[in-house]
Amino acid sequence: MAGLDWTYGVSTLRQWESADYEPSLPVSEKSNPLTRDIDRASAYSIVKMLQVCDSQMFQKEAGTIYQRLLSDQVVKTLMEVAKRVEVIIKDPQESCVVMSGCGTSGRLAFLISSGFNKALSQLNQSEVYSYIIAGGDRALLSSQEAPEDDPRLGVLNLKKVCEGKKRVLFIGISCGLSAPFVAGQLDFCLQHPEVYTPVLVGFNPAHQARDEPIQDCTFTFHSVVQRMQELAKSQKAFLINPAVGPEAISGSSRMKGGSATKILLEAAFSAAHAATSSNTPITHNGVLQHMMAYERTLAVTYSQTDGITTLVEAAGQSLQCSRHVYYLGWGSLALLGLIDASECSPTFGADYEDVRGFIRGGYRELNNNDGPLTSLGPKFSIAHEDFLHLILPCLTDKDTVLLIYTHSDDATEVGNMARRVREKTPNLHAVYHQADGDTAASLQQDDIKKLCLSTLKITWPQEALVSGTLQHMRELSTKLVLNAVSTGAHVLKGKIYQNHMIDLQVTNTKLYRRATRLLQLSACPEEKCEEALLKAIYRVDMLTLEMTSSDITTHTCFARNSTKVVPLALVILLTGWSLVEAESHLKQQPIVREAVAQWMW
C-alpha cells in the first residue's frame, strides 16, 4: 500500500455518492471505493482505511442528494423523538420505549436500553426502555440470521413486550431498511396508531428501502416506509435515515451502521434525560453538540493508530495460526467485546471459538431479558470465571488476550486477571480508558501496564466527564477499536476478497441476494450464479426440480448446515469443475482471497 494517500481527494471520499456508482445497490450494500484493496493492505493501512471510512459518517450534506448524520432534518427529527421520550419518562406507568432489530441492530437496542435504564434507576426513576432482538436473547451472543426474515415473529415479540401499555414509542432499527422482522413490527404500529408511534432508524434513503415481496405479507419494507413518510408530515411517525457511506467491508453494517445507530439514539435519549432530570430544554444545538462529541471520539480513538495496529497484528497472527482472540472486559465496555465477538461468525464465517468475549460478573452484569443462557452451550459461557476455568488452562502464547477496562474499574481485579493470563502467555494487551489528569489511577495502571505487551491508553478530556457523555464516548471508542481488531485480523487471515466477504453464511434473504451478487464477480450471468449457489448449498452437481422450485426460505434453511457455500460456488463457476473437485481444491487453498485470485486472474 506504499504511496496510499490518507488524505484522499474529495472525489474518492465521495465517489460512492455519484449516481452512476453501483446504481442498483442501496448505500448500505455498495462497496466502498476507499477499501477496494483492503485485502492486500498491511495492518497499519487497514486501520487507516477504517479511520477514513468511519470519518465518512460525519461528512457534510452540502452538494449531495443524501441526508447526513448532522443534517438539520436529522437533528430536528431527533429532537421530536427526544420530546416523546421525555413525556414517557415523566409518565412511565403505562408507556414505554421499545427498540428492536436483527443481528447487530438488536444487540445495539439491548446495549442502549441497558445503559439508559441504568441511568434512570440511578435517579430512582422507573425504567422505560425495552429491547427486542430477532431470535431472542441467544442472538445477543450468537448468530441467528434466519428470524430476520420473519415479520410475524417480529409482531409477536412486540405485542409481548408492550402488553398492557397505552403509549409506545417503537424504534425499529434496520440499517439497510430491509429486515422483514422490523417491517412487520412497523406495519403493526401503523395499524394501531392509538398506542404506537413508529420510528425507523436506518442508513439508506427512503427510496432505497427493500422492495422485495415478503412471504405471506401484503407489504414490503419499501411500502411501509412510504406509509411512514406520509405520517411523518404530521409527526405521527418518524424516519431517521441519514446516509453514512458504504461499509469498509461491503454490507457489514455492524460497523458504521452500528456506530451511527448508537450515536443517533444516544443523542436523542440523552437530550430527553437532561430535560427530565435537570430541566435542560431539548434544543437543536444541544442534540447537535452531543453528536459532535462522537466526531471527537473518532479523532481521539484514531489518534492511537499505532496502538490499534499492534492489536490488529497480534489478533491477525493468532487467527492465521488457527489460535484465538479473547476480550476480557469490565462493565459496559465488556458488552462491546461480547457483541464484536458474536459478529465474527456471521460476518467472517468464523468459529465461535476464534474470537470470544467475556464480561466481569457474567449474566448478572449483562442483565438480559431471559437471564443466564449458559445451558444453551459452551459459547454462552461469558463470565471471567468461565474464561479462567475453560480457556486459561489451554492458553498458549499464540493466543491474543485483550483486557478492556476504565479507570473506574477495580484495578486490583484487573491486575489479578492480568497476572493469571501472564503466567500462560506474554501475548497480553490492554485497552484502557482514563480521564485526563487521573493520576491516582495511573499508579496501579503502571503495574498492569508492565504485564502487558502493549497498552492502548485512551485519555478523555475532563469536559466529557462534566457533560455526562464520557460513558458513550468510551463505548463508541471501544466499538471502533474492537471492530478494527476483528475485521483487521480476519482480513489478514485472508477472509476478504477486495472488500467483499466471500465466505458469508447464506442464512437469510438479504445474505442470499448478496451471495448471488458476489458470484457475479465471476462475470457469469445471474441465473448461472444462482444455479451454482444452489449446487453449493445442496452439495449436488445436478439440481433436482424440487430444489430449483423451492423458495429462498427453504434454500436458506438448508444452507444453515452447509459451509464454504459461496467460495465453492465461485470455484464451480470459474473452473467448471464438479462439486467434489471444487471442494478438494478449496481444501488445498482455504484462503479465500488467494483461492479467488488464483482462478480469476
- Shortest separation between residue 224's beta carbon and ligand S6P, angstroms: 13
- Using the rule CB under 6 A, which residue among 332, 347, 455, 522 binds ligand S6P? 347
Of the pair 403, 511, the CB lying nearest ligand S6P is at 511
Among 174, 368, 498, 522, binds ligand S6P (CB under 6 A): 174
Q: CB of residue 148 vs ligand S6P: minimum separation in angstroms?
A: 5
At 59 the three-state DSSP class reads: coil
Choose between 95 and 178: whose C-beta lies nearer to ligand S6P. 178
List beta partners, residue 132.
100
Piece of the chain touching ligand S6P by CB under 6 A; list 228-236, 343-351, 442-450, 572-580 = 343-351
d(C-alpha 436, C-alpha 417), whole Å: 25
Which of 178, 406, 477, 499 touches ligand S6P by CB under 6 A?
178
Beta strands in 411-498 (DSSP E): 428-435, 454-460, 496-497
Tell me how far apart the alpha carbons of residues 534 and 542 are, in angstroms, rounded to a whole number.
10
Half-sphere exposure of 416 (CA within 13 A, CB side): 8
Lookup: cell for 339: 457483541
How many residues make contact with ligand S6P (CB under 6 A)? 18
Site for ligand S6P in 110-149 (CB under 6 A): 148
What's the CA gap between 112 and 106, in Å, rounded?
A: 10
Our CB check for ligand S6P shows the closer of 140 and 373 to be: 140
* Cα angle, residue 98 at apex, residues 96 and 99 outer, rounded to 5°: 155
CA–CA separation, 48 vs 391, rounded Å? 32
Q: State which residue has the least CB distance to ligand S6P.
A: 103
- Is the Cβ of residue 105 or residue 117 nearer to ligand S6P in the bound state? 105
Q: Does 102 bind ligand S6P (CB under 6 A)?
A: yes
Is 175 a residue that touches ligand S6P (CB under 6 A)?
yes
Positions 357 through 396 that interact with ligand S6P (CB under 6 A): none
Alpha-carbon span 308 to 289, nearest angstrom: 27
Choose one: 171-179, 280-288, 364-372, 476-484; the region binding ligand S6P (CB under 6 A).
Answer: 171-179
Residue with Cβ nearer ligand S6P (197 or 252): 252
**C-beta separation of 254 from 261 below 8 A:** no
Beta strand pairing status for 496-497 and 500-501?
Answer: antiparallel
Q: Note the residue count of the chain.
A: 601
C-alpha cell at 568: 465453492
- In the three-class reduction of DSSP (H, G, I as helix; E, B as strand; rest coil), residue 169 is classed as strand
Check the CA dihedral 350-354-359-364 and report its sign.
Answer: positive
CA distance 149 to 112: 24
Q: Which of 33, 101, 205, 337 binds ligand S6P (CB under 6 A)?
A: 101
Ramachandran area for residue 136 (φ above 0: left; ψ -120 to 50: alpha; else beta) = left
Is 54 near ligand S6P (CB under 6 A)?
no
Nearer to ligand S6P, 433 or 500 (CB): 500
Residue 496 neighbours by CB distance under 10 Å = 27
- Residue list 250-269, contact with ligand S6P (CB under 6 A): 252-254, 257
Q: Which is nearer to ligand S6P, 241 or 406 (CB)?
A: 241
Contact with ligand S6P (CB under 6 A) among 343, 409, 503, 530: 343
**Residue nearer to ligand S6P on the CB measure, 94 or 351:** 351
**Smallest gap, in angstroms, from Cβ of residue 432 to ligand S6P?**
27
Q: How far is the CB of 183 from ligand S6P (least distance, A)?
A: 10
Nearer residue to ligand S6P within complex by CB, 110 or 387: 110
What distance in Å separates the CA atoms of residue 420 and residue 121, rounded to the nearest whole number? 35
Shortest distance, position 256 Cβ to ligand S6P, whole Å = 10
* Choice from 346, 357, 494, 567 touching ligand S6P (CB under 6 A): 346
Q: Is 104 in the site for ligand S6P (CB under 6 A)?
A: yes
Q: Which is nearer to ligand S6P, 293 or 339 (CB)?
A: 339
Phi, then psi, of 264 in degrees rounded to 5? -65, -50
CA-based nearest residue to 129, from 108, 142, 115, 144 = 115
Q: State yes or no: residue 176 binds ligand S6P (CB under 6 A).
A: yes
* Residue 45 or 105 with smaller CB distance to ligand S6P: 105
Q: Which is nearer to ligand S6P, 360 or 490 (CB)?
A: 490
Strand partners, 458: 433
Residue in 32, 35, 77, 105 binding ligand S6P, rule: CB under 6 A: 105
Residues 6 or more apart whose Cβ sits within 8 Å of residue 569? 515, 519, 529, 532, 533, 535, 536
Taking CB under 6 A as the criterion, the residue among 34, 81, 96, 103 binding ligand S6P is 103
| Beta carbons within 8 Å of 371's beta carbon, 6+ residues apart | 363
DSSP 8-class letter at 356? E
Q: Which stretch binds ligand S6P (CB under 6 A): 82-90, 249-257, 363-371, 457-465?
A: 249-257
Which residue's entry shows cell 472525489? 11
Nearer to ligand S6P (CB atom), residue 149 or residue 386: 149
CB 34 within 8 A of CB 52: yes
- Shortest distance, position 365 Cβ to ligand S6P, whole Å: 23
Q: Binding to ligand S6P by residue 342, rule CB under 6 A?
A: no
Of 447, 386, 446, residue with least CA distance to 419: 447
Q: By CB under 6 A, name the binding residues for ligand S6P.
A: 101-105, 148, 174-176, 178-179, 252-254, 257, 343, 346-347
